[in-house]
Amino acid sequence: MKNLLVKFTFLMCLTSTGYAQDEDKGKSQIAISAGILPTEDIANEMLVRFVDLFFPSHQHVSVDNVSVFGSYKYFVSEKIAIGGTIGYNSRAKPFNYDNWNRRYDGIKVVTLAGEGSFYYLKGPNVGLYALGGMGCFIVTSGNYNNNYSDYTNFGLTLQLTPLGIRFGRKFGGFAEIGYGYKGLVNMGINLKL
């Protein structure tokens, strides 16, 4: 096991040595991905969970399914990229408290956010990075109970991803672990332009 760890460390160091300075600076990258267990309404989610410790009565929608995303990144330096993403979740589920008898089905969520990435280990075929994003979400839903109107909401959304990994030179795949609008796990494919 120790020998395997030494070999892995050596290979990671070998791939991260500088092949060409600013290889990605000024280049772009596009991506398509799917996020598992997204929380679009993250700011409200944290606030409601905290307040509900003392006064359990809030109503909100907690999104807990799969979202799809289209993203764009522009490398301002070799290790820093900025960009944006748009996401769509057509199978969100409502979170119902015991005292809230409304039934909302067909909830759909659209997310728009700006993002920044920092590559802390980067080689020609592999890169490890962290990502942070902030933007807004819009929730719409039909209501099957005629006593209530349709549900529409919007608000602030966040994404914190401490670990992301990208494989491939020009065309590749990636996986991210974090919390927020892209979910706990976000995986997809991307292309450097």
Break the chain into its structural domains and give their ranges: 25-192
DSSP the chain: -HHHHHHHHHHHHHHHS-SSTTSSTT-EEEEEEEEES--TTHHHHHHHHHHHTT-----B----SEEEEEEEEEESSSSEEEEEEEEEEEEE--B--TT----EEEEEEEEEEEEEEEEEEE-SSEEEEEEEEEEEEEEEEEESSTTSPPEEEEEEEEEEEEEEEEE-SSEEEEEEEEEETT-SEEEEEEEE-
Q: Residues in the chain with pLDDT < 50?
A: 16-21, 61, 63, 95-102
The pLDDT value recorded for residue 52 is 74
The pLDDT value recorded for residue 123 is 86
The pLDDT value recorded for residue 93 is 57
In the chain, the percentage of residues whose pLDDT exceeds 90 is: 41
User: Considering the domain 25-192 in this protein, what is its CATH number?
Assistant: 2.40.160.20
**pTM, full prediction:** 0.71
The pLDDT value recorded for residue 191 is 94
Task: Tell me the one-letter amino acid at 64.
Answer: D
The pLDDT value recorded for residue 99 is 43
The pLDDT value recorded for residue 96 is 47
